[in-house]
Amino acid sequence: MNYRHAFHAGNFADVVKHVALTRILVYLQDKPAAFRVIDTHAGAGLYDLTGDEATRGGEWRTGIARLMQARFSDEVRALVAPYLDIVRAFNPGRDLVAYPGSPLIARALLRPQDSLVACELEPKARRQLIDALRRDEQARVVDLDGWMALTAFVPPKERRGLVVIDPPFESRAEFERLASGFAAAHAKWPTGVYLLWYPLKERRAAETLAARVAAVANVGGEAKCLRVEFSVAPQTPEAGLVSAGLLIVNPPWTLAGEMKAILHQLEKPLGLGGAGRFRIDTVGG
């Protein structure tokens, strides 16, 4: 597996992940106390949809491009508005030419008292991220391995916030690193919100990951791990990435209902050759 942001920017997996991200941050805004976002594998921050990497796959055309044209109920339109407004801010013209990654989406939802720590080790992506966030006093780009960052930056001084863990999955060992990295971070900061992304190509690996994360999160018998999965087409050996998932630990109490309403109305526009399908459940609950 190899999930490099630049090749897949704005695809269905980004759409689902970033809708969830915005809903979590909107929820955190409800209290005046400051929060911090820690993005462990931040990527370049902003992706050129007219560039070679994005053009080669063209996945954004069946992802964010479709979402921008989709019709929603009044309820769902209000829920996706913060996300779509951020995307539109980077595309003031008629055409989609750029797509913001998770650090820029998070930055757009920070209040003056909030902050962002974005970790990126790959030199080219880090330079691009620094350029995107240059002279921003609320956002810090760190040249640090994302797995080390998990324990280095938690708990934040604010004691409120979100950790986004979205590794590139360049090897099969990433599932193990994701489970163990989360466990180490959770041991230091059990009350933080964690958003873990994973590709869904092997059901056994995904189920093992969910079980391990839930075993750590669900202390005291209380279910604290929400699973969200979305597929745009049936998984076959020849298919690329057609299914992806999120594990959200300590999710806002509103998130499950919001994501269910949103994803129900994303099945048709994001499906390939038919309607997509989604799954939302509490792991271990």
SS3 track for 106-136: HHHCCCCCCEEEEECCCHHHHHHHHHHCCCC
Answer yes or no: 48 catalytic: no
Side chain identity, residue 11:
N
Q: Which of 14, 39, 114, 166 is catalytic?
A: 166
* H helices present in 37-73, as ranges: 52-57, 64-69
Domain that holds residue 166: 5-282
Q: In this structure, what DSSP letter does residue 159 have? A: S
Q: Where is 280: in which H helix or E strand?
A: strand 277-282
pLDDT along the chain (285 residues), means of 10: 69 97 98 98 94 84 96 98 98 94 98 97 94 94 94 96 93 92 97 96 93 91 92 83 96 97 97 93 85
CATH value at residue 85? 3.40.50.150
225/214 Cα distance (integer angstroms): 6
236/60 Cα distance (integer angstroms): 21
222/214 Cα distance (integer angstroms): 10
Collapsed DSSP state (helix, strand, coil) of residue 162: strand
CA 231 to chain centroid:
16
CB burial of residue 53 (10 Å; 0-12, 13-18, 19+): middle
Enter the tokens of residue 238.
Answer: 């020849």
Prediction pTM value? 0.95
Name the residue among 133, 110, 105, 121 with its Cα closest to residue 36.
Answer: 110
To 10 degrees, the CA torsion angle through 221, 35, 30, 247? -40
Domain total in the chain: 1
Contacts of residue 192, Cβ cutoff 8 Å, sequence gap at least 6: 154, 155, 156, 160, 161, 162, 163, 185, 186, 249, 250
pLDDT at 184: 97
Distances (CA, A) of 175 to 103, 165, 178, 180, 194: 22, 12, 5, 9, 16
pLDDT at 214: 96
Side chain identity, residue 136:
D
Distances (CA, A) of 148 to 31, 50, 118: 30, 34, 13
